[in-house]
Amino acid sequence: MKKMMRVCGGLAVTLGLVLAAGCTSSPQPTPGSSGVKPSGEVVLWDYYGESTPLKDIVAKFSAEHPEITVKYEAYAYDAISQKFPVAASSAAAPDLATIDMTWIPQYASAGLLADLGSFSGGTLNGQPMQSAYSAGAYSAMQYDGHLVTAMMDFDAYALYYRQDLLQAAGLSVPKTFDDFVDVSAKLAKGEGSKRTQAVLMPPSVFHFAGALAREGGQMLSPDNTKATFNSAEGVQALTNQKRLLDAGGLYWGPDAGDYIAGIADGRVAMFIDGPYMMGVLKSGAADQKGKWGVATTPYSKQPGSYLGGTGLVIPTGARNGTAAWVLAQYILQPENQELLYTKSGAAPATLAGLARPALTEPDPYFGGQTPFAVFKDAMATAVAFPNTSAWAEISKSLNTAVESVYLGKATPADALNTAAQESDAALNG
């Protein structure tokens, strides 16, 4: 009996130690030694959704690289933002994941992203990394002197509009902000949450950032220590948004689900969003083919939008980083970057991808227009979010501020001041 107890006790202690040891270890993936061909399993997490091009790309990849098995896992955008940080530095991490570029500073500063320099040797598909991307993109891929992500697509916002509805109402595409308010008021029917043919107004920081840029305001001070979005320009930007919502907008709360529902049933006649919505429209509102157009977001002072995108990252907990990099490079090849555009409408991030012919072809869904030209312009005047690890918290504060103004619970000045206070605390805490 006593012996059995001692064995049990020993087992318990050992188990406890093993488990406790797991708490503190944070393995770094090591690049395979040169000469050994990368193989094995690569777990890929993708947040693209139904119109993802990655499934097709992975299928092609598996045919060309039979020695690497790709385990593809789809996640919703919110779900991945919850699961990834928690899993990234542990053994439950994927090998490769799609991550919103705006999350990069926070993840990199928490030590979740492996240095891609060691996997890539500074090259992408045979080209030096620095010349594969524009200067802006390349600097956005760095954190603290390390290359932490390989950018896959760009995101900048433009105006999508139902040209058939505008024509029927005898209205022309708005160019200035006042036009926009006017047109939306005339086009929308009904009031409040029962509106149809309205402008989609989600209370998100991405839209506020665009409005702020169009007023010439800045998010943070140049040294990233203080919030400046509550300046006069910021208050004006948020006031503008509220004005638009009241005139002809449809409030689309964070819990209202995917936009496509409101687009497909006609409640939304105009919305401001990025190129990937082209893919969403084609798959979710196929019967509206030929009715949509794209134009620069209306502005009074200057054109502007937020600048973001998707980056491919290898988390520090990845078990097979070498094979993951092989897959990442394949995804970033020019033909596959083109597939990104044709399948889901997203704008390629690599220079080679941007030069592909498909991007300059007219699109029948958009009545023969070449929508990509509009997004290219938007990217030229787009402003990236500040590169600070406190951005996640600032973004949450701003989301709450915008939400409270849209719901009529606070004035723009008050809401932005509260958010500024919270942000300053996060920046300096």
Is 95 exposed, middle or buried (CB count within 10 Å of its CB: 0-12, 13-18, 19+)? Answer: buried
Find out whether 184 and 295 touch, Cβ atoms under 8 Å. Answer: no
User: Does 230 contact other proteins by CB under 8 A?
Assistant: no
d(CA 399, CA 396): 5
User: Does 196 contact other proteins by CB under 8 A?
Assistant: no
d(CA 392, CA 104): 10
User: Does 286 contact other proteins by CB under 8 A?
Assistant: no
d(CA 77, CA 350): 23
d(CA 259, CA 52): 17
Residue choice 28, 37, 76, 123 for contact with other proteins (CB under 8 A): 76
Contacts to other proteins from residues 301-340, by CB under 8 A = 316
User: Does 26 contact other proteins by CB under 8 A?
Assistant: yes
User: Does 195 contact other proteins by CB under 8 A?
Assistant: no
d(CA 105, CA 143): 7
d(CA 417, CA 399): 13
User: Does 428 contact other proteins by CB under 8 A?
Assistant: no
User: If DSSP codes are grouped into helix, strand and coil, which group holds residue 273?
Assistant: strand
Residue choice 31, 32, 40, 85 for contact with other proteins (CB under 8 A): 85
The DSSP string of 189-251 is: BSSGGG-BSEEEE---HHHHHHHHHHTT--SB-TTSSSB-TTSHHHHHHHHHHHHHHHHHEEE
CB of 429 to other proteins, least distance (A): 9
User: Does 110 contact other proteins by CB under 8 A?
Assistant: yes
d(CA 210, CA 102): 14
User: If DSSP codes are grouped into helix, strand and coil, which group holds residue 151?
Assistant: strand
CB of 69 to other proteins, least distance (A): 15
User: Does 16 contact other proteins by CB under 8 A?
Assistant: yes
Options 75-83, 137-145, 147-155, 356-364: segment touching other proteins (CB under 8 A): 75-83
User: Does 15 contact other proteins by CB under 8 A?
Assistant: yes
User: If DSSP codes are grouped into helix, strand and coil, which group holds residue 410?
Assistant: coil
Identity at 285, one-letter amino acid code: A
Residue choice 10, 41, 59, 91 for contact with other proteins (CB under 8 A): 91
Residue choice 171, 261, 351, 358 for contact with other proteins (CB under 8 A): 261
CB of 417 to other proteins, least distance (A): 15
CB of 80 to other proteins, least distance (A): 9
**Closest to other proteins by CB, 21 or 63:** 21
User: Does 92 contact other proteins by CB under 8 A?
Assistant: yes
User: Does 1 contact other proteins by CB under 8 A?
Assistant: yes
Find out whether 340 and 53 touch, Cβ atoms under 8 Å. Answer: yes
User: Does 368 contact other proteins by CB under 8 A?
Assistant: no
Options 236-244, 345-353, 354-362, 397-405: segment touching other proteins (CB under 8 A): 397-405
CB of 314 to other proteins, least distance (A): 15
Contacts to other proteins from residues 400-419, by CB under 8 A = 400, 403-404, 407, 409
**Closest to other proteins by CB, 205 or 347:** 205
Residue choice 6, 10, 22, 380 for contact with other proteins (CB under 8 A): 22
d(CA 266, CA 245): 17
Options 15-23, 124-132, 212-220, 235-243: segment touching other proteins (CB under 8 A): 15-23
User: Does 90 contact other proteins by CB under 8 A?
Assistant: yes
**Closest to other proteins by CB, 83 or 376:** 83
Contacts to other proteins from residues 121-180, by CB under 8 A = none
d(CA 100, CA 72): 18
CA distances from 223 to 145, 146, 227, 313, 427 (A): 17, 20, 10, 27, 11
Q: Give 273's strand partners.
A: 158
Structure tokens at 152: 């896959």
Instruction: Give the interface with other proteins as residue ranges (CB under 8 A).
Output: 1-2, 4-5, 8, 11-12, 15-16, 18-27, 43, 73, 76, 78-79, 81-83, 85-87, 89-92, 110-112, 193, 253-258, 260-261, 265, 284, 316, 392-393, 400, 403-404, 407, 409
